[in-house]
Structure 1
Amino acid sequence: MSSLKQLTNLQKEIEQLRSKMVDIATIYGYTSEECIKISQELDGVLNKYQFVKKKVKKCPHNKHLY
């Protein structure tokens, strides 16, 4: 999978997790076990997104994207 496609997929996953976390937090609170679990998962996906984004930025033929 190309890095740009991977970034797009990660962005979608981030938005889904954020939405899910807010829904869970609204019902059970931000300190609920389920909300914390989703927050940690979101942190991992955000870290992966940043790693891939940095990799894309370093690629010379992607300079026009930033």
Structure 2
Amino acid sequence: MDKIDRTLEAIERTRQKMIEASEQYGLSSKEVLKISQELDILLNNYQNSKESKVWVSFR
């Protein structure tokens, strides 16, 4: 399993965690905000990884 696959799995786990936290604490809770920020980082990492792969393939 490569880095992109691991990142995709982490994105899905974090997304599910955020959904569960929002059901338990409400959408504007500190818990949901923290998880949302974690998800943002994962999504940015995923996007950057994909862009790097595309860049390498064009060389």
TM-score by length of 1: 0.81
| Counterpart pick for 1:48 among 27, 45, 48 | 45
- Structure 2, unmatched stretches of 5+, are none
Identity of aligned residues (%): 36
- Structure 1, unmatched stretches of 5+, are 62-66
| Counterpart pick for 1:33 among 1, 21, 30 | 30
The secondary structure found in structure 1 opposite 2:2 is helix
Aligned-residue offset at 1:11: 0.1
Aligned-residue offset at 1:57: 1.3
CA distance in 2, matches of 1:36, 1:27: 13
CA distance in 2, matches of 1:60, 1:50: 16
What is the root-mean-square deviation of aligned Cα atoms in Å? 1.6
Aligned-residue offset at 1:58: 1.7
Aligned length: 58
Aligned-residue offset at 1:59: 2.1
